[in-house]
Amino acid sequence: MSEINTHHQHQLLDITRRHFFSECGVGVGKIALAGLLSGAFRKSAMAKPVADPLAVRSPHYPAKARAVIQLFMAGAPSQLELFDHKPALTAMEGKPIPPEVIGGQRYAFIRPDAAVLGPRYKFARHGACGAELSEMLPQLATVVDDIAIVKSCKTDQFNHAPAQIFMNCGFAQPGRPSLGSWVTYGLGSESEELPAFVVMSTGSGISGGAANWSSGFLPSVYTGTRFRNAGPPILNVASPAGADARLEAETLGLVSTLNRQTLSRDGDPEIATRIAAYEMAHRLQASAPELMALQEESPETLALYGCDPAKASFARACLIARRLVERGVRFVTIYHAGWDAHSDVAGNVKNNCKATDQASAALVADLKQRGMLDETLVVWGGEFGRTPMVESSAVLGRSLGRDHHPNAFTMWLAGGGIKGGITHGKTDDLGFNIAEKILHCLGLDHERLTYRYQGRDFRLTDVHGHVVDALLT
Amino acid sequence: MVDRVGTTGTTWLGLTTACAQCHTHKFDPISHTDYFSLMALLNNADEPEWMISSADRDQRIAESKARAESLWQQVPQHWPAPGRPPGDQLAAGSSEPGQRASSDGRRMVSLAERFDAWLREEAAHAIDWRVVVPEAIESNLPHLVPQSDGSILGSGDITKSDVYTLTLPAAEQPVRAIRLEVLADASLPDWGPGLCYYEGRKGDFFLSEFEVSLPLKQSRVEIARATESFGGKAFAGKQAAGAAAAIDGVMSSGWSTNGRQGHAEAAVFELAEAIEPGQPIVVTLRFERHFACSLGKFRLSTTTASGAEARGMSLAEEVALLTTPAGRSADQRQLLFRRFLKTAPEVSDQIKEIERLEAVERQGLSTLVMRERPADNPRPTHRHHRGEFLSPEELVAPAVPAFLPQLPNDSAPDRLALARWLVSPDNPLTARVVVNRHWHALFGRGLVETVADFGYQGTPPSHPELLDWLAVSFMTPVEQGGLGWSLKALHRLIVTSDTYRQASELTAATAERDPDNVLLARGPRVRLEAEVIRDSLLKAAGLLSTKMYGPGVRPLQPAGVTEVAYGKPTWQASAGEDRHRRGIYTFRKRTAPFAFTTTFDGPSGEACIARRDISNSPLQALTLLNDPMFLEIARALGREVVAAAESDAGRIQELGRRLLSREFAAAETEALAEYLQVQRQRLATGELQADELMAREATAQSVNENLGEEAAWMLVARAVMNLDEAIVKR
């Protein structure tokens, strides 16, 4: 068992309880209360009646990154129209792909002998590093020296839901904890008020659904908290219609008074935790509007992202993500669905780049100018790639599309622990494990971050993976 | 399957069987082979939908059939009487009896004429089809069994690319066309004709290609033309899926009769050149889609006639048509007459009603079941190297783990044997695991703390004799003084014990000597589980519905919870008592779980969690304070206490009894009364709006004295609902 595991599951719980009672004795709960009401709830061991599952924990080794922003391009973007320039395909366009190229691979819709489709967009070299990007990514080109492009990504799955769940949880069937849950479990939360793991979604619905941010067999407290696009982002953060601030203060005051009486009678430290939770809820109600006050951002920043604060969009979500990380949130995932270009890949890429290119690049630039990029890891990518062969079917009304391609896709990473301005891997390389790299940047060893379930120590990367040093600073 | 083996171990045996998926268990005596032997016990089952039979349903079906038959008798009376010849106009409206008789007469004459014309037309096109029973039937996986009527019925597993190869015996006459009838059957999903049950439409099939070849000549036979009695729409609904699409050489197009589930249809494949007699014919059916969609019941026939087309006639109808009018039996005449009526637009309303009644048999409430597979089609189970699905090794026989007492020799090693073995008096493990889990539910901690692991890695029982005594009592039949496996009796036994009824207060002595209450010197004090919190608050407010059974319902939850799920479904809260059913009936949307349950540590249901962790978070506080579901409960509770007592003191105690099962102490009452007075005052001055708090439209009607009073008590109720004690069992 790893340190964190032991620490988390049994011993700390016992030790702190015993410690609390042996040092303080029953009836001295008020001392504890004084501590937690003064805001030291998370930090002071004395004031902590039970092990806080979200307490900040040390990584396995010094971390490069403190937080992660995952830009999940659901539906699978075409690497061939964005990052992976293959002029050879143009020469072969219209001819069937040679069978030796694809071996026995099966596809979702097309036959293995489908014709080749050349890249739909022009590519050019950018930045000091000279990385090739398509004309659909003009904004990303401006930060290309800060990102590491990984072209050799590969997955086990070629349907959306299982592939999304695989990317997030390391397993194609639902039921395992997601990356964000593992990270929160491993490192705890630095924010006392905001959830440690936040999920936003700006495109169409996500076929993998909540399994993508599920805590699986980890305690549910590590489940990603969904931020809504309309209304206050956190569920139930707003007081009911008709209630004013005074009423809420008086209500919480009454609840607190009565709970304290119960604490002094029953002596259960969980009551003290509940009192603290209501205090934090009250603070969260105050801080949530502040978090969402995007109009406070400078006009330059809003323009950088292309964000209209009043309108739900990917740009708005990226800006919120930066503000969340600023406030100590550990892991933010933004889903943007809609890259599933079975037909008209050119139009699909154009529309989705219009929605995401500027804001993705702005996030990297903004984090950098604020000095936050060094400790924030940004990860961009989908659940698989798209075929070099064309998908067209009169039966399904599709033309000039690309099918699902599990064997090659591109992701990029930027920020804490990642070397900027490099391109890793060629599309005929073998596998690459993004998850363990993310853990590595956060100072977590993917072989030591474990949780005991059904009799064995599970880990995100199961029995696979090694860290690619070439990408790391 | 992997999940089931793990869950079976956790639930019934308290064993971490899942651990042995990849290799022999490192701590407990469960070998790698044991794991797959246990899987073999569970693996040999089909999982069809089972129509739930009931006396009601049987009666409904019988009545529908009788009604349909009686409607059949009446159809001719609805045949329209043709108008009178032009010269007869003046007689219209006459009440002379002869006139009416001639109206009925004209009706009958018209009907007979139309039927005769139809018979002549159809008989002229009737084809002499010969049913051919294949002498060899092969498939890649589905189980195909010939039936007595010459048809073939499919069952068992299907894949996304299935191939049926049927070798027809040498014909005696030249074969110019082959007919494929697709047939309904009660054993198929939605009565077939397809085996599709997942992703595509239930009961659909998708015939990508229909191929004919001659093995002796090693040649393919060209198909000149394909016709169908009905062609559905292909996936995505854009293109017609006619039989021609099954001979176009394109696998992504094909023939489907989607929309005609439960009905027989046919396709006829006319050959470019006749196949000479005396040689076997191989017919290959290919089914390929991004979902499994093979054919479930079908029949092949051939003809020597040329120009054959699919016309939707059943075999019996074709035979009757080919019989000379004089030679037709009464049954054949009725068969053809009804067939004719089904095609006649004049009585389409009546026919529609009859078809509706005939479909009643295929409708009803169904449930998924596991059904042991037939002896001639068992599903093999292998040991898999390192647990990898794609690395099967040797076959394994179904068995329980070797270190435990074995299954009896006198019965087949199947799921029934496993179930009997689990609860056999010789197996104490199941009862121990079950009573321990219920002890855990009541005390918040099991006698064995690791409720899912009784192995070497688990914690030893704190009270081994107690655990054994409870387990043995639980298993012992009632007539021998035991509990007879009754959970209710077990609960009663535990909750009426002195141990359970102890006070739960922590004293300095118990905190010092037994902080986690392992030794049970005090009563349990644990937060309720998510579903129980909701149920108990609904109950306190007088809202809880105890209605049993039926499909899941949707309680209130904040807007936007489901917007992230695929297809962005809306969550329309149920109306009436369905809104307040017990938590077990809450609809489970996999991609967007019910938000309240997740916030209060309810697992997603995707992994078997024997013991929920209990967290204590600000999000929980916000939920109890502001979630629309709990505000609704607070409003109902406010109204209830106003109605229940006259005095403030009486109402405060009413709230205490309903939410905390006790009366408030003086200090508490004082704090509550003070809060009440302040809010009552603010409501009276209009600082707080009663109709807003009570979610009433601000209309003249709602302006009444009671609303302000109810709102004040709603606020008090909301506060009490948020007390630690309201969601804690003590």
C-alpha distances in angstroms, B7 versus B2, B46, B607? 9, 19, 9
The whole-angstrom separation of Cα A159 and Cα B38 is 30
**Phi, psi angle pair for B629, to nearest 5°:** -65, -40
C-alpha distances in angstroms, B440 versus A51, B436, B452, B492? 21, 6, 11, 15
Chain A residues with CB inside 8 Å of B695's CB? 241
Helix (H) or strand (E) holding A5: helix A3-6
Going by pLDDT thresholds of 50, 70 and 90, the confidence category of residue A31 is very low
Chain A residues with CB inside 8 Å of B12's CB? none
Rg (CA), chain B: 35
Q: Is the pLDDT of residue B309 over 50?
A: yes
Q: Is the pLDDT of residue B569 over 90?
A: no
Looking at the partner chain, which of A22, A111, A273 has a beta carbon nearest the beta carbon of B616? Answer: A273
Identity of the amino acid at B324: T
Q: What is the pLDDT of residues B7-38, one digit of tens each?
A: 999 999 999 898 899 889 988 999 999 999 99
Decide: helix, strand or coil at residue B562.
Answer: coil
Distance from CA of A353 to the nearest CA of B (A): 21
Check A280 against B618: CB less than 8 A apart.
yes
Q: Which range has the top average pLDDT, A173-177, A326-330, A358-362?
A: A358-362
The whole-angstrom separation of Cα B483 and Cα B479 is 9
Q: What is the pLDDT of residues B490-545, one digit of tens each?
A: 999 999 999 999 998 888 888 888 888 899 999 999 999 999 999 999 999 999 99
Check B512 against A254: CB less than 8 A apart.
no
Q: Is the pLDDT of residue B697 over 80?
A: no
Decide: helix, strand or coil at residue B303.
Answer: strand
If one looks up domain A67-233+294-471 in CATH, what number appears? Answer: 3.40.720
Q: Cβ distance A446 to A460 under 8 Å?
A: yes
The whole-angstrom separation of Cα B721 and Cα B660 is 9
The whole-angstrom separation of Cα A451 and Cα A444 is 14
Q: Is the pLDDT of residue A163 over 80?
A: yes
The whole-angstrom separation of Cα B57 and Cα B365 is 9
* pLDDT at residue A18 in the model: 34
Lowest mean pLDDT among B395-399, B563-567, B618-622: B563-567
Three-state SS string across B259-292, please?
CCCCCCEEEEEEEEEEECCCCCEEEEEEEECCCC
The reply to whether B621 touches chain A by the CB within 8 Å rule is yes
* pLDDT at residue A15 in the model: 31
- DSSP code at position B293: -
The whole-angstrom separation of Cα B397 and Cα A379 is 47
Check A455 against B19: CB less than 8 A apart.
yes
Closest residue of chain A to B454, computed from CA coordinates: A455
The fold adopted by the segment(s) B130-312 is Jelly Rolls (2.60.120)
Q: What is the pLDDT of residues A109-146, one digit of tens each?
A: 787 778 889 899 999 999 999 999 999 999 999 999 99
For chain B, domain boundaries: 1-44+378-422, 130-312, 427-524, 526-730
Residues whose CB is less than 8 angstroms from the CB of residue A388 and which lie 6 or more positions away in sequence, other chains included = A80, A86, A89, A97, A116, A117, A402, A405
Q: What is the pLDDT of residues A203-238, one digit of tens each?
A: 777 888 888 888 888 877 888 888 888 778 888 999
Looking at the partner chain, which of B507, B559, B598 has a beta carbon nearest the beta carbon of A26? Answer: B507
Name the burial class of residue B491, with classes exposed (0-12), middle (13-18) and buried (19+) by CB atoms within 10 angstroms of its CB. middle
Check A216 against B604: CB less than 8 A apart.
yes
* pLDDT at residue A437 in the model: 67
Check A266 against B615: CB less than 8 A apart.
no
Check B507 against A219: CB less than 8 A apart.
no
* pLDDT at residue A188 in the model: 85
CB atoms within 10 A of CB B450: 20
The whole-angstrom separation of Cα B226 and Cα B246 is 8
Q: How much is the average pLDDT of A348-367?
A: 96
Going by pLDDT thresholds of 50, 70 and 90, the confidence category of residue B233 is confident
Check B563 against A195: CB less than 8 A apart.
no
Rg (CA), chain A: 24
* pLDDT at residue B91 in the model: 46
Chain B residues with CB inside 8 Å of A229's CB? 560, 563
Q: Is the pLDDT of residue A43 over 80?
A: no
Q: Are strands A67-72 and A331-335 parallel, antiparallel or unpaired?
A: parallel
* pLDDT at residue B140 in the model: 96
Looking at the partner chain, which of B591, B667, B688 has a beta carbon nearest the beta carbon of A247? Answer: B688
The whole-angstrom separation of Cα A423 and Cα A85 is 12
Q: How much is the average pLDDT of B93-110?
A: 68
The whole-angstrom separation of Cα A349 and Cα A355 is 10
Q: Cβ distance A62 to A442 under 8 Å?
A: no
Chain A residues with CB inside 8 Å of B233's CB? none
Q: Cβ distance B182 to B314 under 8 Å?
A: no
Decide: helix, strand or coil at residue B703.
Answer: coil
Q: Are strands A331-335 and A197-201 parallel, antiparallel or unpaired?
A: parallel
Decide: helix, strand or coil at residue B545.
Answer: strand
CB pairs under 8 A between A and B: 272
Check A175 against B234: CB less than 8 A apart.
no
